[in-house]
Every structure is written in C-alpha cells, then in structure tokens.
Structure 1
Amino acid sequence: MTTRLLFPTHLFQSRHGDEAFLEDAEAACWMIEEGDRAGHAWCEEKGYPGYTSYASLDDLPDRAPAFASLAEALTRLATGFAKELHWELPRKGLSLDALWINILGDGGAHSGHIHPGSVISGTYYIAMPPGSGDIRFEDPRLAMMMGAPPLKDEVPDALKRFIYVTPQAGDVLMWESWLRHEVMASRTDEARISISFNFGLAG
C-alpha cells in the first residue's frame, strides 16, 4: 500500500545581513517612525498596538540605503522561492509591491489574516528580543476538516493544524500570500521590529 503526500504548503526561511546591517536597518526604522506623522495617526485611529508604516509610506527603499539593499535581497530570495514552487513567471518576473515597517511592544499582536492581491508575502526580522511574539501559520484546510478527530500530542509538522515559528534577528520568512498567519502577543517591553513585504507578478 502506498501513501502519497498531496498539496504541501511551503514556508521558505533564509538569513540576510550581519550585525552591522541589522543595526543600520534598526536605526532606519526608528528614523522613519520618528517622522511619520501620518503613520502614527493611522495607528491611533485603527488601534494598532505599536507603529507601522503600512498605510502611510510606499517608498522605503528611497528613504534609506538599508531598505534599498534589503529590497534587492528580498527580490533575489523571492525569485528563488518561486523556482522552488515551479511557477511559470512572466518575463519580468516578480515585483516588490509593498514594503513596510512593524514595531510592536508589550502585548502587541497581529490577528489572523492573508495578503490578497499578492503571490508571495513575508517578513524580515530586525529585532526579536526574548518574549517577542511567535508567528503562527494555519493549515489552509482547517475550515474543511469538519469532524476530524483531535491530533495526538506528538505530531509531525506536516500534520499539525498550526505551526509556530520563533524568528531570530536576520531571519527572512516567505510564504504564498493565501496562507493565513498571525503574530502572537509580545511579552516584552523591548521593541519587536520587522519589515513585511508583498510580491506580485510584474506587468
């Protein structure tokens, strides 16, 4: 008898930058945060638990060399991930459609969500002090499981309903944009700093 593994979900993980780069990137994030009045106003209006440039800035690579360098590196990594997925990309490949800063403090979290309109999404982690919230990925079949029995205590990752990842500073995580994920609540007063991104198909 043969058992086949069907429809696996891919999570790509890599590393980027040394300590000096992480320091430059963190300084650039704080520089942007300090001057982004529109971003702070949006965070206050929406009850965002920290700071994000998501709704206020769309030109981070033009604002600091660290962001420009990161954008180039992420594009290379995303192209490699697309090859692992065996995608037939258009001639122009992938386009980095969005790049934004996230700074979370004690209790800061992101509820479960997907990234509509994109094909690859992910996060680059700049500062992850002890107690920073993990990122949790949800089995995309969860809503269709109906009366599935509970799982045993010890289960291979490929069979779990949720996967928790504890990123370290310098880690890059990428996934297909339809994969539902959330950031668990941070349990430290120190800032959890990351840069999230979306890739689409270049026109």
Structure 2
Amino acid sequence: MAQIESLFVTRLYRASLSEYRPKIDADELENSCLVIAEDDEAGQTWSEANGYPGYTSYASLTDLPWRFPVFADLVKVLDKHVAAFAKDLEFDLDGRKLKLEDLWINILPPGGTHASHIHPHSVISGTTYVSMPKGASALKLEDPRSARMMAAPARKKDARRKLQPFIYLAPDVGDVLLWESWLRHEVPLNMADEDERISVSFNYSWG
C-alpha cells in the first residue's frame, strides 16, 4: 500500500502573552504605543517618506524597553515564548539562547496594508497584537515553496489546511504569533471602519 507523509514542516506558534509572567497591562501597552507614535517625529517622517501607512517605529527607535517599563516586561515575556518555540523547532543552539534583536510598534489605519516580506537576518520573528478592531487585517502567510511551483496547478479551495498556498490568521488582542524569519508574510488591507490596528513586532537572532 502506498505511503504518503508530510515533509519539511513549517511551524507556527500561537499563544496568549498571559501564559508567562510578568503580566502585561493591555491598556498600558496600548497607551504607550499611542504616546510614542505621537511623539516620535523621526518615525513619522520615515513612515511618510517610505510610503508606510500610519506609523512604525522600526527605523527610528531601538530602545523601547529602556524608555517604557511595559516594554521591558513585554521582552521578558517574549523571551519565554521564543524559548518555547525554539525548543519545539529542535534547534541546536550550542548552549546559547536566542536574543531579542529589535522590537517596534506598528499602527495601521483603515485602508492601510503592509506588503509581503521576510526578515532575512533573524531566526525567529513575530508579532503581538495590541488593538484589533472589527474588520482589522488578518496576518497572511505564504507557502515558502511558491516561487518554485512554476507549473503546479492551483489547489482546490477546500484543500487541507496544510496544503493551502496561503494561510490567513485573525489574531486576538493579547495573542503572540511566532514563525521562522524566512517565512514570507504580509498584512492585507485593513478593513476596520475607523479604529487603528496596533501591534508590536520583533526579531530574535542567535549568536
């Protein structure tokens, strides 16, 4: 009898921040994101110059955990989630830990998108969700083999989830999603009526 198995698995980690301590005050985290966005003129300028809708601190602030205690606590929690995911991935880290490389705020207004991309110099990337109003964009993940499937037919619409070329995830506030940094992803059009989609993204590296 023929045997069929799945090979070269792509893992995705989803959990609530609250699974680990210290406890993150959701209101304090959201307020901090909004205050930083309002005060960060360099980030506003970069976002506008680079066609980034809304605001990101990606190119302007590298010390959020030092500036705001809630971000320092957030990093402590993320460290534990990343360690759990690295264990699941069965990485041989040679006695070292994955460490936070960078962490930034994203505020996406209605009608905004974030184009497909990867994080090429990191090991694990992820996002935690601070505000997800009704209609806010899901996270879209792309099969990493897509560029090599030049002559492959389309998948059936009801194909098994693990065979779909794209996966859409609608996270809840307080969720943390982790994936290996080579996995291409994007944020489709934010269909929320008025409120902004707020998230905090991050990269972890090894070395």
Query: Paired residue for 2:13?
Result: 12
Q: Note the alpha carbon deviations across 1:79-110, whole angstroms, 9 max, x for none.
A: 11011000011433111000000001111111
Question: What CA RMSD, in Å, does the superposition of the two structures yield over aligned residues?
Answer: 1.4
Percent same amino acid among aligned pairs? 49
Question: Which secondary structure state, in structure 1, belongs to the residue aligned with residue 25 of structure 2?
Answer: helix
Q: Which amino acid aligns with 2:143?
A: D
Supply the distance in 2 between the matched residues of 1:20 and 1:153 (Cα, whole angstroms). 39
21-30 or 147-156: bigger deviation: 147-156
Question: Which secondary structure state, in structure 2, belongs to the residue aligned with residue 199 of structure 1?
Answer: strand
Match of 1:199 among 194, 197, 204: 204
Unaligned 5+ segments in structure 1 are: none
TM-score normalized by the length of structure 1: 0.96
Are residue 142 (structure 1) and residue 143 (structure 2) matched?
Answer: no
Supply the distance in 2 between the matched residues of 1:56 and 1:81 (Cα, whole angstroms). 29
Aligned residues: 202
Q: Note the alpha carbon deviations across 1:128-159, whole angstroms, 9 max, x for none.
A: 00111111000001111121122222111100
Supply the distance in 2 between the matched residues of 1:20 and 1:149 (Cα, whole angstroms). 46
Aligned-pair CA distance for 1:4: 1.5
Q: Which amino acid aligns with 1:27?
A: N
Query: Paired residue for 2:113?
Result: 109
Are residue 38 (structure 1) and residue 42 (structure 2) matched?
Answer: yes
115-124 or 60-69: bigger deviation: 60-69
Unaligned 5+ segments in structure 2 are: none
Are residue 77 (structure 1) and residue 81 (structure 2) matched?
Answer: yes
Supply the distance in 2 between the matched residues of 1:37 and 1:50 (Cα, whole angstroms). 13
Question: Which secondary structure state, in structure 1, belongs to the residue aligned with residue 110 of structure 2?
Answer: coil
Tell me if structure 1 keeps the 8 A contact 2:132–2:172: yes
Q: Which amino acid aligns with 1:61?
A: P
Supply the distance in 2 between the matched residues of 1:147 and 1:17 (Cα, whole angstroms). 45
Question: Which secondary structure state, in structure 2, belongs to the residue aligned with residue 187 of structure 1?
Answer: coil
Query: Aligned ranges for residues 99-178 of structure 1 at < 5 Å?
Result: 99-178=103-182
Aligned-pair CA distance for 1:74: 0.6
Aligned-pair CA distance for 1:20: 7.1
